[in-house]
Amino acid sequence: QKEVEQDPGPLSVPEGAIVSLNCTYSNSAFQYFMWYRQYSRKGPELLMYTYSSGNKEDGRFTAQVDKSSKYISLFIRDSQPSDSATYLCAMSAGTGGFKTIFGAGTRLFVKA
Amino acid sequence: EAQVTQNPRYLITVTGKKLTVTCSQNMNHEYMSWYRQDPGLGLRQIYYSMNVEVTDKGDVPEGYKVSRKEKRNFPLILESPSPNQTSLYFCASSLGREVALYEQYFGPGTRLTVT
């Protein structure tokens, strides 16, 4: 079993829809939870990060962490065609090293 | 412009021929890391470096070497490449210790094919 599971999609939605992207994990030591966006033929870029549990909002993006369920989510409101990309979740424990574990990524298409 | 650069961007080589992929950052970052990205497996960490002369293994270090002689450079060395090292490689950097856990800047990637 992988430490981080993420549905690869693809996920196709109409413009303006609310998008929900999710990851589950097995390592209870993870404390830092990140979402990266990767456009085709580009390197990933950090969208948001959350420390421990809770919600974090940044414009149209909301990140949620539920440590009791080992489940994290990224919500995109009013999705735009420019949001079409692969979204990668990532996690770090913060102790015993500085490894970051990434999910496989979910490919999102937002249709105009 | 603040950036992470990698060279070459594309490389086709043959089994056993030593190669080096360079990585350089101009942000004075302490932390640097190498990842490989494969379909269905996501990004997997190969090696990372907390500072000059300090390197450590990630999850998939077999077949790779790194060095960190200068703060800005972190080359990835494949001494004897094999076809299973065909992949998309990314270098990343981060400001420092704790920030490295949650904020990394990635280079544009190097697509390597080993035949």
pLDDT in tens, A44-100: 999 998 988 889 999 999 999 999 999 999 999 999 999 999 999 999 887 666 788
Cβ contact, residue pair A98, B90, below 8 Å:
no
Q: Which two tokens stand for residue A106?
A: 């979910």
Picking from B101, B104, B105, B110 by the largest number of A CB atoms within 10 A of its own CB, the best residue to mutate is: B101
Angle at B72 between CA B70 and CA B75, to 5 degrees: 75
The one-letter amino acid code at B108 reads P
Distances (CA, A) of B69 to A1, B6, B110: 37, 17, 21
The CA distance from A8 to the nearest CA of chain B, in Å, is: 7
Average pLDDT score over residue span A7-25: 95
3-state DSSP assignment of residue B35: strand
Residue A13, class by beta-carbon neighbours within 10 Å (0-12 exposed, 13-18 middle, 19+ buried)?
middle
A contacts of B48 (beta carbons < 8 Å): 98-99
The CA distance from B43 to the nearest CA of chain A, in Å, is: 6
CA atoms of A79 and A100, how far apart (whole Å): 28
Q: Which of A32, A43, A94 sits opposite B90 (nearest CB)?
A: A43
Check residue A96 and give its pLDDT.
60
The CA distance from B107 to the nearest CA of chain A, in Å, is: 6
A contacts of B92 (beta carbons < 8 Å): 43
Picking from B30, B43, B88, B95 by the largest number of A CB atoms within 10 A of its own CB, the best residue to mutate is: B43
Cβ contact, residue pair A98, B97, below 8 Å:
yes
Give yes or no for residue B7 having a pLDDT over 90: yes
B contacts of A101 (beta carbons < 8 Å): 45, 59
B92 touches chain A (CB under 8 A): yes
A59: DSSP letter: T
Residue B97 sits at φ, ψ, to 5 deg, of: -55, -70
Check residue B61 and give its pLDDT.
96
Q: How many CB atoms lie within 10 A of CB B57?
A: 15
B30: DSSP letter: S
Distances (CA, A) of B76 to A18, A101, B22, B86: 40, 20, 6, 14
Give yes or no for residue A14 having a pLDDT over 80: yes
Residue A88, class by beta-carbon neighbours within 10 Å (0-12 exposed, 13-18 middle, 19+ buried)?
buried
Q: How many Cα atoms within 13 Å fall on the side-chain side of residue B26?
A: 5
**Better-scored residue on pLDDT, B89 or A53:** B89
Grade residue B41 by pLDDT with cuts at 50, 70 and 90: confident
